[in-house]
């Protein structure tokens, strides 16, 4: 991720804990002039990206969320398991929604681990 | 931690579920269970998301699964959604035509009971 890293978050792969990633993203987005609607979109996009790691079995002990300030906010979400997981309809819904809510959606692979990169800028930027 | 509260009442033979909190990957299974219980009892089901602050795709998935289950049993589920962003999520997933979505409980009740709108 280019740009400055603002926060790195490691969350146990527990659906109940994904809320903490949403709260951090929400706080950073509010500080950076995103509208309420844009903040809701970002919260949901990061939730879906994190949930997809769980549903695909790609997070054994942690889900990593790295938030940077490149072109608005850039959020990289990854698990700790190599590969792409077993495709399933639930995970596909997560990723389809995440992709629709951000300006740029990219899937990268580093050291065999898939990373979902979400980028969104405030409309007024 | 209980982030989703579901209050269930029966009104005019309709099972009404009023949700408060967050309907997401962690809490959606409890809604699935409640809808399955209601389907087993028979009769139409109204699920109100008016007080749901956060809805993710797994929450939407629970609504879809419940609706499918109800229709297979000869009844239906109507969903009350007032949030534009929540409606937008359903549209992105192209599920607005499958789900019976209304903007108020009164409209949802009319959709379920067949009364003229």
Residue B57 to residue A48, Cβ atoms within 8 A: yes
Q: Considering only CB atoms, which chain B residues are within 8 Å of A44?
A: 54, 56, 85, 89
Q: Report the gap between the CA of A44 and the closest CA in chain B (Å).
A: 6
Non-local (6+) Cβ contacts of A79 within 8 A are: A13, A53, A54, A56, A58, A59, A60, A62, A63, A64, A113, A114
CB B26 within 8 A of CB B60: no
Structure-block tokens of residue B96: 């607005």
Give tens-digit pLDDT for B46-59: 999 999 999 999 99
Residues B113 and A105: their CA atoms lie apart, in Å, by 43
Alpha-carbon span A46 to A65, nearest angstrom: 9
**What are B51-102's pLDDT values in tens digits?**
999 999 999 999 999 999 999 999 999 999 999 999 999 999 999 999 999 9
Instruction: Tally the C-alpha atoms within 13 A of residue B13's C-alpha that lie toward its C-beta.
Output: 8
Q: In this predicted model, what pLDDT tens digit does every residue of B5-59 receive, in sequence order?
A: 999 999 989 999 999 999 999 999 999 999 999 999 999 999 999 999 999 999 9
Please tell me what DSSP assigns to residue A74: E
Q: Which stretches of chain A are DSSP H helices?
A: 18-31, 36-55, 89-101
Pick one of 3.30.565.10, 3.40.50.300, 3.40.190.10, 3.30.420.40 as the CATH number of A5-120. 3.30.565.10
Residue A117, strand partner residues: A76, A106
Handedness of CA B95, B103, B108, B20 (dihedral sign): positive
Please state, in angstroms and rounded to a whole number, the distance separating the CA atoms of residues A4 and B95: 38
Give domain limits for chain A.
5-120
DSSP A37: H
Residue B22 bridge partners (DSSP) = B54
With contacts defined as CB-CB under 8 Å, which chain A residues touch B57?
Answer: 48, 51, 90, 93-94, 96-97
Q: What is the pLDDT of residue A70?
A: 86
Going by pLDDT thresholds of 50, 70 and 90, the confidence category of residue A86 is: confident
pTM: 0.93
Domains of chain B and any CATH numbers? 4-113 (3.30.750.24)
In 3D space, the residue among A51, A37, A43, A1 whose CA is nearest the CA of residue A25 turns out to be A43
Interface with A, mutate which of B54, B57, B90, B92 (most A CBs under 10 A) = B57
At B115 the pLDDT is 62
């Amino acid at each position: 991720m280019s740009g400055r890293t603002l926060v790195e978050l490691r969350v146990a792969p527990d659906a109940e804990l994904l809320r903490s990633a949403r709260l951090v993203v929400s706080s950073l987005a509010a500080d950076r002039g995103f509208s309420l609607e844009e903040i809701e979109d970002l919260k949901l996009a990061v939730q879906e990206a994190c949930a997809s790691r769980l549903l695909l079995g790609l997070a054994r002990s942690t889900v990593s969320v790295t938030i940077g300030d490149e072109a608005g906010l850039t959020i990289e979400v990854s698990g700790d398991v190599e590969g792409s997981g077993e495709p399933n309809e639930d995970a596909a819904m997560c990723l389809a929604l995440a992709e629709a809510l951000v300006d740029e959606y990219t899937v990268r692979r580093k050291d065999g681990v898939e990373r979902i990169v979400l980028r969104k800028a405030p409309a007024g930027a | 931690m209980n982030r989703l509260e579901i209050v269930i009442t029966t009104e005019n033979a309709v099972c009404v579920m009023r949700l408060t909190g967050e309907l997401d990957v962690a809490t959606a299974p409890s809604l699935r269970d409640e809808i399955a219980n209601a389907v087993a009892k028979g009769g139409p089901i109204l699920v109100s998301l008016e007080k749901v602050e956060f809805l993710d795709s797994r929450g939407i998935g629970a609504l879809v699964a419940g609706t499918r289950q109800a229709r297979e049993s000869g009844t239906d589920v109507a969903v009350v959604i007032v949030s534009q962003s929540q409606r937008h999520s359903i549209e992105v997933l192209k599920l607005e035509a499958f789900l019976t979505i209304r903007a108020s409980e009164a409209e949802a009740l009319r959709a379920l009971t067949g009364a003229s709108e």
